[in-house]
Amino acid sequence: MSVLDLGIDLGTANIIISAGRGGAVLNEPTVIAYDRNSERVVAFGTEAYKMIGRAPEHIAVIRPLRDGVISDNDMAQELIRLCILKVIGKKLINPRIVMCVPSGITAVERKAVVESAVSAGARTVYLIEEPVAALLGAGEDIMRPFGRMVVDIGGGTSDVAVTSLGGIVAANSVKKAGNAFNASIQRYFEDNKRILIGERMAEEAKINCGNMFWPSGEKCGVVSGRSLISGLPARCEISEDDICRAITDDVDAIIAAIRTVFEMTPPELVGDIYEHGILLTGGGALLRGLDMYITREFGVKTFVADDPLGCVARGTNIAFKVRDKLRNGFEKVRA
């Protein structure tokens, strides 16, 4: 395996680094834990994720990328640096790096992200847009004069784009994705069942009982938290129907984003998409029945990529090979 070329998917929920032929060499939640007393990072990735909602007062467990934007620049930089160093170890390697950063970040934040890669030893840094990386990672040939549509549903944002001839033709992004689904599930139980549940409990309920197409009303699990009535520990049975009702508005915001992109796309390319279908990537693509929900909405076949969580990371690595042919959505930012 060569670690000279690294592809980094800096996601709101997960940071994935791929190397060599595209295999993931690091896959960690985008979380970092900082001890305010000693002013040191005490954990990152999975270790830090386990501390969410459970850490003592003096330890801040931070998600430095909230809703697809950088909410804590210093911690984001530190996390990127630590992840790169974990991959290259103490070897004297100066990798070339292709990075995918959230579409919503500012030019200043972009620069900060690039600097952290440089401080971890990067020789050259390229930036790639998420939809381009997602399509490449799903094995799609985006160089042909043929329209391809991808909907990448991550933690912070859902990005919709149409590409042709190696470039983005139309795109849209909404801040409705996995995190928003979790927040809506928490709100649903608060409003309808009078029980407060934690973020990780909501995530578990979504993964185990989420179903957007013909959800059943039968019990499929339980959630536990604090009763808003008694203030005491409580649990409550849940069904697919509960989860579906909780997140339908969020999913419909993604549907609206797809509709806007269709409206912006030249008719010839819309025809191509009708023939080829809509590709779903990102962790949100794993939500059961979402593909059928989109198919029903637009009458266009919709399919989930193989390993949708890994598409962007794989795509960042593939981008090295096709970089001369990419028209936009790809730039060299540091020589």
Ligand X SMILES: Nc1ncnc2c1ncn2[C@@H]1O[C@H](COP(=O)(O)OP(=O)(O)OP(=O)(O)O)[C@@H](O)[C@H]1O
Minimum CB distance to ligand X smaller for 109 or for 203: 203
| Rounded-to-integer distance, Cα 302 and Cα 250, Å | 18
- Least distance (Å) between residue 225 CB and Mg ion: 28
**Nearer residue to ligand X within complex by CB, 185 or 195:** 185
Interaction partner, residue 147 (ligand X, Mg ion, none; CB < 5-8 Å by kind): none
Q: Which residues contact 10 (CB under 8 A, 6 or more apart)?
A: 30, 65, 80, 99, 100, 101, 102, 113
**Cα distances (Å, whole numbers) of residue 248 to 170, 215, 285:** 25, 12, 15
Cβ neighbourhood burial of 330 (10 Å; 0-12, 13-18, 19+): buried
Q: Which is nearer to ligand X, 104 or 121 (CB)?
A: 104
Helix (H, G, I), strand (E, B) or coil at 168: strand
Least distance from C-beta 34 to Mg ion, angstroms? 24
Indicate the residue among 203 and 272 with the shorter CB distance to ligand X.
203
For 83, half-sphere exposure in the C-beta direction (CA atoms, 13 angstrom radius) is 36
Which one among 5, 8, 11, 210 touches Mg ion, defined by CB under 5 A?
11
**Which residue type does 134 have?**
A
Q: Which is nearer to ligand X, 101 or 142 (CB)?
A: 101
Q: Among Mg ion, ligand X, none, what binds residue 286 when CB lies within 5 to 8 Å by partner kind?
A: ligand X
154 binds Mg ion (CB under 5 A): yes
302 binds, among Mg ion, ligand X, none (CB under 5 to 8 A by kind): none
Residues making contact with ligand X (CB under 6 A): 9, 11-14, 68, 102, 130, 154-157, 177-179, 203, 206-207, 210, 282-284, 286-287, 309
Number of other residues whose CB lies within 10 A of the CB of residue 267 = 8
Interatomic CA distance for residues 126 and 163, integer angstroms: 19
Residues that bind Mg ion in the complex, under the rule CB under 5 A: 11, 154
